[in-house]
Amino acid sequence: MFDGTLEGYDNFFSFKDIRDLLFARESESVIIDCYVNTCLFLPRQENPDIFKTFGYLGAALKGYVQSSKDDKSKKQHFDYSFRRLDRAPTEFDLLFSPMHVGTNHWALLVINIKEKEFHVYDSLRNKDRRDIPQYVEELRRYMKGKHIDSENWSLRYPDPCPQQGSGDDCAIFTCKYMECLAHRDTQGFPFSQDDMPTVRAKFALHFIKVYFNAQERSERI
């Protein structure tokens, strides 16, 4: 699960993940987590004024919660993710929760704290996915225990929302949704399926740099 620091990726972010990016294979949760950590959190530390106040719950949370067999286990997974936030949930504008939905698709759930709504950004725009409202209901119950009454918050699928044209780009779309939503100066979503080869190449180049920087740090320890 998301560790919250760049150093947390030293041991399991690999060239296989980078290869998957370059050759358009399905991206795993580690790529989404590492993208948020290195492309959103670190730049926000350097230029906080250009970012909204956002928190990140990790790409594996939904899977852990919905595979749990009892409420105690679900609460433990929620507790783990919410404890890693650097402030109280109500102090954020947005909370990002990437979701692995169905069997092989990624979408983004945004808990919009300021507007008091749940927003889903799905590059295949399927509103019939039962696991998404089920996950939102689990979040409602947990947040109520944190004194956040979201019972009447609506679940919306905002437009416009760029759609993918291939079966392998859903995780990349999920990352780009977060990137655009996190920046104060970004209007809408200025990307499309046509941009995906370039976006993948940029992601891969960035992660190669991250990988070697991490290796250099570990060698100096």
| 17 has a pLDDT exceeding 70 | no
Question: What CATH superfamily is the domain 18-219?
Answer: Adenoviral Proteinase; Chain A (3.40.395.10)
Say what the alpha-carbon torsion angle 65, 71, 72, 73 is, to the nearest 10 degrees.
Answer: -20
210 vs 191: which has the higher pLDDT: 191
| 39 has a pLDDT exceeding 90 | no
Confidence at 187, pLDDT banded by 50, 70, 90 = confident
13 vs 88: which has the higher pLDDT: 88
What tokens appear for 206 in the block? Answer: 């960035």
| 13 has a pLDDT exceeding 80 | no
Mean predicted lDDT score pLDDT of the chain: 86
Could you tell me the end-to-end alpha-carbon distance of the chain, in angstroms, rounded to an integer? 24
Query: Number of C-alpha atoms within 13 angstroms, CB side, residue 132?
Result: 26
111 in helix, strand or coil?
Answer: strand
- Burial classification of residue 44, based on how many CB atoms lie within 10 Å of its CB (0-12 exposed, 13-18 middle, 19 or more buried): middle
pLDDT confidence of residue 9: 42
Q: Where are the beta strands (DSSP E) in 76-219?
A: 94-101, 105-112, 117-121, 154-156
82 in helix, strand or coil?
Answer: helix
Residue boundaries of the structural domains of the chain? 18-219
Confidence at 212, pLDDT banded by 50, 70, 90 = confident
Q: Which residues contact 94 (CB under 8 A, 6 or more apart)?
A: 52, 53, 54, 55, 110, 111, 112, 113, 114, 181, 182
SS3 content of the chain, % helix, strand, coil (to 5): 50, 15, 35
